[in-house]
Structure 1
Amino acid sequence: MDCVIEKTRKSGLAARIGQFAMAALLAGTCTTAAFAQADSVDDTIQIPENISILGPRDPNSRHATAVVNGAIITGTDVDQRVALVLDANETGAVSDEEMKRLRLQVLRNLIDETLQIQEADAQKMTVTPDEVESTYNRVSTQRFNRPPEEMDTYLRSIGSSPQSLKRQIEGEMAWDRLLRRNVQPFVNVSSDEVTEMMDRLKASAGTNEYRIGEIYLASTPATQEAVAANARQIVDQIKQGGSFVAYARQYSQSSTASSGGDLGWIRLEQLQNPQLENIVQTMAPGQLAGPVEIPGGFDILYLIDKRQIGAADPRDAVVSLKQISINFPKGTSQEQASEKASAFSQAVAQIQSCDQADAKAKAIGAEVVGNDSLTIRSLPEALQTMLLNLQVGQSTPPFGSLQDGVRVLMLCGRQDPVANEGPDFEQLRSQLEDDRVNKRAQRYLRDLRRDAVIDFN
């Protein structure tokens, strides 16, 4: 038994695998003791038909606190980060089971974050408080649209804290520095590799390219089942309205996590995984797929958009629109709204050009707003189809509801897109390098976990 305890302390394996799996791995560390007993005991496992559990029924259950190489992660740390995740995903009440899964995942994230910060400190690449504070202020104003003082109050109001977000910022900055010095300089993509890939891409002209979001969750044989269950839960939450971008930022272990999982525009060949290529090829924009088991873990994929290689996509056209709308006073019945909407539709049909829109809209009590720089792609899919078929000066059919009112969009101008030529040599080299950096980063973090001493309380 002493041998098992000593090995556990040295390797930190108890932080990453269950006790039973750990015992199996540690069996080889005590071979002398095991063979010493072999002559006196039956080497066949004897299990009675009726058993009584004498210890805890769930030996793998842990409290959500840990000590990582001496650094303490408290239950409060977990609670505050959970609150941040729930707010970012605009999640309402969650089930007890989902909360348990979320807390475990957040704890894993905090452990990784602590390891990254410790590694940066050990290599004299410490992120200073001033750097964290500067980034926090920028995130407050740019991402949350709040001045830092209001951001502090807001975080406390949702059950989190400024310290929790700042800790996450410190971890991301520390990891970025480590990758820039210890991984990126040693990643090399030759010109021949880039040329070969460009030849493959040129040969695929006329086919599609895809803008894909990913959430990558790493697993080992010991954690595979738990990670798969967590991935399925994430998929369920996104399908129920959760933000893919927010989940990617919090859960994904890919280098794309900081950009919300966005891989950008890529060809299928760039996925370098036939299984993923086949799945993406069958997806429609807005569709979610996964979790898909791949070497080293699981992928959740979200198809943001797709377009044809080497051809201009009409949806990339920049259009000038005027929106003409009416609202229904409170208390308007469905019948009254239908009559008013019908009269509005007939009046709008008489508007022949955008120059007439303001004056004629005012005559029927309608409002007009304009926008000269929208892409058709940025609009809801139903409106995209309508606008693609309009000529300048024409309007969409009326759309809306009793609550939102009725409106039409009038096309006032359109700038058609140029043909997409795909990535150039340097862009493609950068994409290939990023892929290799991501794979090495995963191994780097795996090694940090393996070498850590992690105690759960």
Structure 2
Amino acid sequence: MNKFSTMISLLAVAIAVPAIAQTVSDNDMPSSGLAIPKDGKVFGAANPNVYRPSATVNGEIITATDIEHRMALIRIANSDMELPADEVQRLRQQVFSNLIDEKLQIQEARASDISIDENLVNEQFARLATRFRMAPDKFSEYLQSRGSSAESVKQQIRGEVAWDRLLSRNIQSTTNVSTEEVTSEANRMNDAKGQNEFHLGEIYLAATPENAQTVLQTARQIMESLQKGGSFAAYARQYSQASTAVVGGDLGWVKSGQLPASMADAANQMQPGQLVGPVEVPGGISIMLMIDRRQVLTADIRDAVLSLKQISLEFPAGTTESRATTLASQFAEATRAIAGCGAADDVAAKLGASIVSRDNIAMRALPPPLQATLQELQIGQTTQPFGSVSEGISVLVLCGRDLPNSATAPDLQEIENRLLEGKVNKRAQRYLRDLRRDAVIEYSE
């Protein structure tokens, strides 16, 4: 694990979500290409969303127990946040859809002679257990006590590994970005030089006049959980009804003109790391996270490259919150007296702490609160302590800071990587769509 990583999500449950749903007039409706009469009548029981408790996917069974085990994982990830009954039902439908996709991905990997090493699955399960400060066997017992199971988590890991390897073999290896595409994007960035850009995350909840108050209450509950430390990406995957939900709500870099007016107004006032919402937008409500902001091709101190030393002290197993606070205070007092990076090793040794040196650290790669601190520090000074009971406590010592030039040119390699990632994601979506289209799925009554 990277010692400089200070924010770790405990459990991100990936759930497929529908595309963005907004109210449009009849004139705005796109043509489906299907022979559907405008005023056609539905014959028979008009209840297409009846929940089926189980299904077989190309002959392999998904049981009601599988679904409830995944629902339990969502409750664990969301600290047992209470949801309205209709939201619970919607999530159960999404979990079901996700399990179907997972089956298809594993089946496709098997058909492509891609095997999933169970040792790798067990290693990832053990790594997740350590984030809960448990041994794997104790973590298995914990999951069972909460209505889930170790096998449910491991099956999700298998699906993720299978899909990653399928994409690597069948899509990434055959996807390219041309020089002309890179040049065109670089020219666009040059034309936009100096304009504000925002790297935003969004959780979008569709709303109608009839359910607006219920949706607003759900948004407020999500905001409350996020403010308590919930993973934005995990909540976006679970709740957002925008197409970006599959990538944790990440909108990428956007300009004000690309956003609804209410979101643009909010974005212009937000700082990196800030969370805002609920925000009314056309067709619903959004929760916004400012991941980062910049001016196109304009230097920023946060583009600086740093040399750092990190001094870390792990707390003994079983340390209580109050004891951790006391130890953190003592640690802060001892590290505050560090006089330059040359003295950091001696201080770490006296504290029984570990020390790691790293060069060429991009300031933007650090959490926003640390970025703000490091902007103000002089060489040889330390940050305020940061950490948690489970992760221990750390400080960073600033050993060097290379400031950016007054202006920057487009990074052609970065542009190529970004365009390539976008192409791969689009092809991956088509790949999964084709698997769904060709699948034989039988639902139980």
Write the mapping of 1:48-447 to structure 2, written as runs, cut at 5 A. Answer: 60-87=49-76, 89-97=77-85, 98-121=87-110, 124-128=111-115, 131-145=116-130, 148-184=136-172, 187-213=175-201, 233=218, 236-241=221-226, 242-248=230-236, 267-268=253-254, 282=268, 283-286=270-273, 287=275, 302-308=289-295, 309-314=297-302, 316=304, 317=306, 385=372, 388-391=375-378, 414-419=400-405, 421=408, 424-447=411-434
Unaligned runs of 5+ in 1: 1-24, 32-42, 46-53, 220-224, 324-329, 332-340, 362-367, 401-408
Alpha-carbon separation, structure 2, partners of 1:413 and 1:28: 69
Deviations 1:19-42 (A, max 9, x none): xxxxxx9x979x9xxxxxxxxxxx
> Normalising by structure 1, what TM-score?
0.57
Q: Partners in 2 of 1:454 and 1:179 — Cα distance?
A: 27
Unpaired runs of 5+ in structure 2?
1-31, 313-320, 323-328, 348-352, 387-394
Amino acid at match of 1:197: E
Q: Does the residue aligned with 2:290 lie in a helix, a strand or coil?
A: strand
The 3 A distance-change label for structure 1 pair 378 and 181 is closer
TM-score by length of 2: 0.59
- Alpha-carbon spacing, 1:303–1:93, altered in 2? closer, same or farther (3 Å): closer
Measured in 2, the distance between the counterparts of 1:399 and 1:116 equals 43
Greater share of helix residues, 1 or 2? 1
Code of the aligned partner of 1:303: M
CA distance in 1, matches of 2:66, 2:164: 22
Aligned residues: 371
The answer as to whether partners of 1:137 and 1:147 remain within 8 angstroms in 2 is: no
CA distance in 1, matches of 2:165, 2:381: 54
The amino acid across from 2:152 in the alignment is S
Within 2, Cα distance between the matches of 1:354 and 1:44? Answer: 77
How far is the alpha carbon of 1:106 from its aligned partner?
0.9
Percent of pairs with identical residues? 37
Question: Counterparts of 1:437 and 1:235 in 2: how far apart (Å)?
Answer: 35
Q: CA deviation at 1:315?
A: 7.5
1:200 Cα deviation (Å)? 1.8
Q: Secondary structure at the match of 2:291?
A: strand
One-letter amino acid of the counterpart of residue 170, structure 1: R
3-state DSSP of counterpart to 2:190 = helix
Structure 1 residue 278 displacement after superposition = 5.3
The structure with more radius of gyration: 1
Give RMSD over aligned pairs: 5.9
Given the superposition, is the C-alpha separation of residues 206 and 371 from structure 1 closer, same or farther in structure 2, using an over 3 Å criterion?
farther
8 Å Cα contact 1:109/1:251 also seen in 2? no
- Relative to structure 1, is the Cα distance of residues 434 and 375 closer, same or farther in structure 2, using a 3 angstrom cutoff? closer
8 A contact 2:338–2:382 mirrored in 1: no
Shift in CA distance, 105/152, structure 1 to aligned 2, threshold 3 Å: same
Distance between the aligned counterparts of 2:310 and 2:169, measured in 1? 48
Alpha-carbon deviations, 1:90-132, whole Å to 9, x = none? 42242342432322221111122122233334xx22543xx24
Flag the 1:85–1:307 CA change in 2: closer, same or farther, 3 A. same
Q: 1:63 to 1:415 in 2, by over 3 A?
A: same
Q: Distance in 2 between matches of 1:399 and 1:166?
A: 35
1:60-110 per-residue CA deviation (whole Å, 9 max, x = no partner) reads 3314423333332111101111222332x2422423424323222211111
